[in-house]
Amino acid sequence: MIRSPITQQLGIKYPIFQGGMAWVAKANLAAAVSNAGGLGIIAAMNMDQNQLKVEIELARSLTDKPFGVNVMLMSPYAKEVAELLVKERVAVITTGAGNPQPYIEGWKQAGSKVFPVIASVALAKLLARAGADGLIAEGAEGGGHIGETSTMALIPQVVDAVDIPVIAAGGIADGRGIAAAFMLGASGVQMGTAFLLTKECRVHPNYKEMVLGASDIATMVTGRSLGHPIRSLKNRLTRTIAQIEKSDPELIEEMGRGALRCAVLEGDKIKGCFMAGQIAGLLKTEVPVKEYLDRITTQADALLRGETWIK
Ligand code: TUI
């Protein structure tokens, strides 16, 4: 069994977080991941207080294991969601796409463990000083909103800069990725793209088809010029955005709005934004969450004991 300080700290079997993917990471997926021994996470994304409360209650009805909530800090509802979480006392709160410093003390006082997602050493140091219990360091291989630095370069630098556990994210989808993350000094991993291809994940079948059909060069980054780089699978939408993003940023904002919802719920392969990481090309089948977690942790165990990878 992989040894990590966070399994004991959080009361979970495997040091694996499921990423807080907007529209995707709902109560049913989070509960399935927690029931299988990982840490399931509900994405608060653009939900208001009431919508999030319903999801948290649903997750509590589906699992008695710890689970987390991810707060997307660019959401117009981030503040009210942050306030709800002080009352809800979920096991873990993760944050993304911003600086959660103002909320950390309140969440910790309520008893939640706080694991912000960061993409730079500077923010890692600041949030460690602000009292974060751990950090999720996400490299630019990841899907959705990303930073500049690759996972391979980011993890050891963050690990050296702070004295709290670091969870590696971006480009991980099997036991090799987990073992590599531990070699770089991480105490756990977070995966997003890989969970799109689990049976319990209820995205539109076309989304799964797009991920299954992805190659190593299937993703691209759009929105750099707007300051919100987003990695997603190449399609008509991303190619159009790439063409006009320098000349007409406002049109891009308009095209991007609703495009993720359109991909997840409607499966529109032309107008949808199919966020996914570079590791999409590794994923070849749909599997139940438990089977998947059991398999990749067995692989990681063997590699970390010094066995070589057998295809
Ligand atoms: O948050 C993510 N991934 C996301 S959020 C999202 S929804 C969205 N839709 C449209 C535009 C923007 C977002 C889709 N995917 N991952 C965690 C993450 N956080 N990656 C990188 C960061 C990050 C970046 C800058 C965290 C902090 C940060 O700091 C900037 C600051 O404010 O200091």
Distance 144 CA to ligand 1 centre (A): 8
pTM above 0.85, yes or no: yes
Find out whether the beta carbon of 138 lies less than 6 Å from any atom of ligand 1. Answer: yes
* Coil vs helix vs strand at 124: helix
Same domain, 102 and 24: yes
Same domain, 189 and 251: no
Domain count for the chain: 2
> What is the C-alpha separation between 287 and 285, in angstroms, rounded?
6
Report pLDDT digits (tens) over 189-244.
999 999 999 999 999 999 999 999 999 999 999 999 888 999 999 999 999 999 98
- Domain of 177 in residue numbering reads as 5-199+285-300
For the segment 157-177, the average pLDDT, to the nearest whole number, is: 98
| Average pLDDT value over all residues in the chain | 96
Report pLDDT digits (tens) over 118-161.
999 999 999 999 999 999 999 999 999 999 999 999 999 999 99
Q: How far is CA 25 from the centre of its chain?
A: 9
Same domain, 233 and 172: no
Q: CA 88, 92, 94: angle at the middle one, nearest 5? A: 105
Nearby residues of 301 by Cβ (< 8 Å), 6 or more positions away: 1, 2, 175
Nearby residues of 4 by Cβ (< 8 Å), 6 or more positions away: 15, 165, 182, 187, 188
171 Rama class: left (phi>0) / alpha (psi -120 to 50) / beta: left
- Residue 72 buriedness (CB in 10 A; 0-12 / 13-18 / 19+): buried
Find out whether the beta carbon of 74 lies less than 6 Å from any atom of ligand 1. Answer: yes
The answer to whether residues 44 and 23 touch, using CB atoms and an 8 Å cutoff, is no
Same domain, 79 and 142: yes
Distance 99 CA to ligand 1 centre (A): 9
